[in-house]
Structure 1
Amino acid sequence: MSLGTAKQAGAQGQSAPVSVARTAAAGSWAELTAEANRVGKPAWRPMLAYVAALHQRATHPAAPPFDYEWEDLGPGYVYGNAFGHWDVVHEIIDVLPSYPEHALHQLLNDIKNQEPTGLIPGSIYMPGGLARHDSVYWNHSTQGHPPLWPVAVQDYVRQTGDSAIVGRFYTALVRQITWFENNRRAANGGFFYNDILLKKWESGVDEGIRFDDVAKGALACVDATSHVYTLYHIAAQWARQLGLDADYYNQRAAELRTYIQTRLYVPADGMFYDSWAVQNPALRNLPFESMWPLVSGAATPEQANRYIDSYLVNPKVFLTEHPVATVGRRDPKFELRMWRGPAWNSMAYWAARACLNYGRRDAARLILEKALDDSARQFRRTGTIWEFYHPLGGHPETLQRKPTSKYNVPCRDYLGHNPLLAMARLYDSLR
């Protein structure tokens, strides 16, 4: 799971929409429903069946700017019908392996509107939804999103064996790398998200604690640097598969791996930090973003195992009643407010994959089981899945979302951060 030059792919340009033939292996909503009724613990299955139905309910017919049917973030998203960001990656992974055709369509939709600069839009807002937009719009220049989609492509290829599709995505990947190199390269090495400059929350972590006190500047973020490492790593794999020169990507991946291991890590703490927190101990906190070097596979085995034991499976830090707490429980900045303490199931999923990168099946199983147990408990009580959950096992509706806005409770029926089928599937593989 751990994650040639731009000239190789840039000249290819955007190819025509891919025609995906309907075959018995394409999957269906019925197959997703059937899977929901057999995976995981019996106590989870009513919730999983609800999630399967919610995927279908959140899917709309093809319409500009998409070539295929498109899935929104969930009908309860307060800002309206939206597609993209890292939410769609979680939805894609969730429907695999029962509906790979739908997953592929979402991947193709995701790269369809890549800008000439290489930027892949963050969220694309469509007409309708709770916010009742009357037209399509998105940010074309200053705000991207965490580039996790190549991981979903890798998962799709592993699931279907359709390795030929890599040729369709390689161009988009190289162009996105070029965008990061031109627009998000940090002054001190590594890469950054514009949260530190504009507070547009490009990282996906709105109002995250890391940016409370830091001065503005193009300083390396541990999440952005780990995500770009993944891009280089996968680009090298795809280049070799396509018979292209992978040396540039291999070299850049190796450089970033060393940078992460040495410049974004404090051995005394056994913790990964943003570059400014490495330099200034007063700025060190316990945000969950510190796990991305493990998710990407950039951490050494020694660093990873120490991090897992000291932080991920420590009840005083991230292993809360509903993991993963987005801020370590013992951190003074921990609070029951969106991305500043509450638990997101998508992050529990990535944490589990991080553990599996280093052979820690025990930790992955523990995280998944606790997250699914509490999600099912809250579903039995409320009949919905929530945008995020109470880390101490309380009621999600008592949490704060954004106190300065009119939307100060977690969204209901929010699919984008609830890959619960994927979590149950992964849990079964560890039993």
Structure 2
Amino acid sequence: MMQRSDPPPQPAERPLPRLRRALGRLRHAATRIRRPQVMGRWHRGLSYLWHLLIWSRIAAGRAGALPIELPAAMLRAKGIALAPPHLEASHHPDAGAVTAGFAEIYALLFANLQRADLLSSTRHAIPGPAFRGVYLWDSAFIAQVWRWWDPTAAADVLNAVVELRDGDRLQHVVTEFHESPYTQPPLIAWSLARLAEQLAAPKAQALAERDFDALDAYQDWLSRHRRLDSGLYAWAHPYESGVENAPRFSNTDESALRRTAAIAAVDFSSYVVLQLDALAALAARIGRETDAARRAAEAEALRRRIDSLLWDERDGLYYDRDGAGSPVRVATIASLLPLWAGVPDAARAERLVARIMAAESFGTAMPLPSVARDEPQFERDMWRGPVWLNTAYGVILGLRRYGYQREAAELAWRLCVGVYRVFAAERRIYEFYDPDQHHTRHLHRKRGNRWKALTLGTGPQTDFVGWTGLANNLLLEVLLGLDLRGERLRLCPRLPQAAQGLGLALRLPQQDLLLRLTSAAEGVTGSVSQAGRSADFSAGYGATIDLHAVLHGATEGNTPCASAT
């Protein structure tokens, strides 16, 4: 008779996961959004020392001592196998600024990528050196910048937010020492769905399967805890919105915050539409057709509610509605976000676009300010007037969705070149920008709030690529119209008149692609090289070039560019 042997001893659990769980329990026990930051400031100081090599190389690059590039060994230390996209601009007054600013964004993107540590079991991203935590909507946009360089890093950045959820709630922010009781704009599913479109089918399916259930449960949590009887959504606190000192919610220094729990928020409701659309796409990708149909139907129903309840016919904008149903009449960037979510019909979209392009409103020199330039409450203080690249990027995607391609390209050029010009002048990438001038001397951060001045300074944060890195996306996605979804490799240039004569040499290591082009009056001429093949091409403004076809001796002709969301 055979005797049953004892099971082999299990290896002892490694100490890092145990410490991570213990720290998580400690954070959870002390949940609150505001707490003394002495420990946090000590941690930031130590982190600067820890990353001294990275930051000193970037600083040297700013001073001209070396290119703003990082060696392969340093990249490998954070799991990055390839160099970032590289751009050389020429034959244009802004060529030097474009070259340097493009490189700086990727250098900072890498510097702000964190390895797995006590906070997270996966790589994660901080928006900037002063914000040492995992932030919800920052991570959604950071992943979009990473997807042009390393999609696996983008996926990790998103997964860190999912991993650090509290039950079904995705958290506003989690640091080593505290976590927030709130949520934030729900854009992780949107970012994940866009990333999945870029990947080959097996990788895209694996990505969707990994996070779909958690993101689907998060949508249910929002419906239970943030949805009003009208079917629209309300922020529990202005800090949830990410735009807390906007005139919709508070005064400049936040000494008077509105109670937002009964205010139907146009931005929140629009973000939820984007999340529902993304969940439908992710569900379809993994074969869950019932879930896909359900979420798509919910998205359409919410679009109709936004359009019927939040549109203001007199002003031609979407506004929040307070508990009594009255519009909160202040023209902010939130009034334009339904365009991104596909809410308005063609006539209402046209009225929004008129406001977007008007120089006295949202069409400023550096366009899409957080509050309309002609709004009485406009001022150069955070969300009360300065330009933020994340919301501006969403509005530009909305313009493209409705076919306003020239307008989108014009605004994209002014935005990304504005970021690059400020970097050329001040050698810094900032979290927000002046809508009228290419410098930051007149900008403020919650002026009058002494605590914020002490902890974060009086102006915009520096080395911030939490979403300012989207300037590079605007160049790649909107101005060049690069489409890397699935197996496609297409170009649809829409460089405006102001870019005429600009020469660009773009290397994309992820695709082993070298693209050279020169902008002419109504299109581009150029060449493409990949895997030992090279070919020349030309394209009219807004015409699609299939670069794979060009490399193999054929073209698609001048087909129109596709819209994008």
TM-score by length of 2: 0.64
The residue identity in structure 1 corresponding to 2:191 is: A
Is the deviation greater in 342-351 or in 177-186? 342-351
2-structure distance, mates of 1:216, 1:413: 32
Aligned counterpart for 1:291 among listed residues 315, 320, 336: 336
Cα distance change, pair 158–265 in 1 and its aligned pair in 2 (3 A): same
1-structure distance, mates of 2:323, 2:425: 41
Equivalent residue number for residue 173 of structure 2: 123
Aligned counterpart for 1:111 among listed residues 126, 146, 162: 162
Equivalent residue number for residue 156 of structure 1: 195
RMSD: 2.3
1-structure distance, mates of 2:341, 2:164: 26
SS of the residue 2:278 aligns to: helix
Equivalent residue number for residue 411 of structure 1: 461
Shift of 1:29: 6.5
1:18-417 matches, within 5 Å, as 28=80, 30-32=82-84, 34-37=85-88, 42=95, 43-75=97-129, 77=130, 80-116=131-167, 118-125=168-175, 135-139=176-180, 142-161=181-200, 162-164=203-205, 165-195=207-237, 199=238, 201-212=239-250, 217-244=261-288, 245-246=290-291, 247-276=293-322, 279-280=325-326, 283-309=328-354, 311-403=355-447, 404=449, 405-406=452-453, 407-417=457-467
Is the deviation greater in 101-110 or in 157-166? 157-166
Where in structure 1 are there 5+ consecutive unaligned residues?
1-26, 126-134
The residue identity in structure 2 corresponding to 1:312 is: I
TM-score by length of 1: 0.83
The number of aligned residues is 383
Cα distance change, pair 238–317 in 1 and its aligned pair in 2 (3 A): same
Shift of 1:237: 2.6
Where in structure 2 are there 5+ consecutive unaligned residues?
1-78, 251-256, 482-493, 496-565
Equivalent residue number for residue 48 of structure 2: none
2-structure distance, mates of 1:348, 1:276: 25
Percent identical residues: 23
Cα distance change, pair 351–187 in 1 and its aligned pair in 2 (3 A): same
2-structure distance, mates of 1:47, 1:28: 21
The residue identity in structure 1 corresponding to 2:313 is: P
Equivalent residue number for residue 30 of structure 2: none
Bigger relative contact order, structure 1 or 2, given CA contacts below 8 A and separation 6+? Answer: 1
Cα distance change, pair 417–216 in 1 and its aligned pair in 2 (3 A): closer
CA displacement, residues 11-51 of structure 1 (integer Å, 9 cap, x when unaligned)? xxxxxxxxxxxxxxxx947431x434479973412011011
Shift of 1:337: 0.7
CA displacement, residues 30-74 of structure 1 (integer Å, 9 cap, x when unaligned)? 431x43447997341201101111111112221133222222112
Larger Rg: 2
Shift of 1:330: 0.6
CA displacement, residues 392-426 of structure 1 (integer Å, 9 cap, x when unaligned)? 11521421112213221111111112122212112
The residue identity in structure 2 corresponding to 1:211 is: F
Alpha-carbon contact 2:234-2:260 (below 8 Å) kept: no
Alpha-carbon contact 1:336-1:390 (below 8 Å) kept: yes
